[in-house]
Chains A and B, each alone.
Chain A
Amino acid sequence: GQQVMQIPQYQHVQEGEDFTTYCNSSTTLSNIQWYKQRPGGHPVFLIQLVKSGEVKKQKRLTFQFGEAKKNSSLHITATQTTDVGTYFCAGPESNSGYALNFGKGTSLLVTP
């Protein structure tokens, strides 16, 4: 079945530094979604990418969908302490009712 892999597993940055997490799928994805989970909280939807090569921005966050629709990235410019949390990518499993498969996530720690 499809697997969604994320790297790195953890990232510790100083406030103001940039951060990037990468997501790779073993199969082509119809779309990819990104979620953020704060410590002790639940995943919260950030964005959905659908088109090949698509780039979307949300303030300091930039999301990209690969040309082959098998990978994606999330880049945060000038991190702030409010960016702390775990970032998950998720893609539909085409062989299984399009159930959303989550990666293991990248945990971001930002120190002031």
Chain B
Amino acid sequence: EAGVAQSPRYKIIEKRQSVAFWCNPISGHATLYWYQQILGQGPKLLIQFQNNGVVDDSQLPKDRFSAERLKGVDSTLKIQPAKLEDSAVYLCASSIRDSWSPLHFGNGTRLTVT
């Protein structure tokens, strides 16, 4: 099966600019996750969708981050405006059902904010 697709792979922006990431999950997977991984740390959940509804966005900085999953398939994560501390790898993952099911991760987008 095709894996989780993410783009772009790398992005460099200046602080206060905006950026968007795209994710296409594995076909048939109901749940989609966006994680932020800062260097040397474990992935931190930003938002979890089940189909096109939000299950958990408690750790999403909603003043600057937004995410949507239209039609319950692919998803975009946006940051506007970016801060230096947003520099991280943004990982998209999907699972067939919910967090009881194994997560399949994409290759991630490495964001550098200068």
Whether chain B is bound by chain A comes out as yes
**Residue B27, interface by CB 8 Å:** no
Is A85 located at the chain interface by the 8 A CB criterion? Answer: no
Task: Give the Cβ gap from B55 to chain A, nearest Cβ, in Å.
Answer: 4
A66 within 8 A of B: no
Quick one: given A43-B91, A97-B56, A99-B48, are A92 and B105 in contact (CB under 8 Å)? Answer: no
Instruction: Give the complex CA separation of A72 and B58 in angstroms.
Output: 26
How many contacts between A and B, using CB within 8 angstroms? 58
Q: Given the known A-B contacts A42-B108, A43-B91, are A103 and B99 also in contact in the complex, defined by CB atoms under 8 Å?
A: no
* Interface: A48 (CB within 8 A): yes
B28 within 8 A of A: no
Report B42-82 residues with CB < 8 Å from chain A CB.
42-45, 48, 55-56, 58
Chain A residues near B (Cβ < 8 Å): 30-31, 33, 35, 41-45, 48, 88, 90, 92-93, 96-105
User: 4 nearest interchain CB pairs?
Assistant: A102-B42, A97-B55, A97-B56, A45-B102
Residues of B near any A CB (own CB < 8 A): 33, 35, 41-45, 48, 55-56, 58, 91, 98-100, 102-108
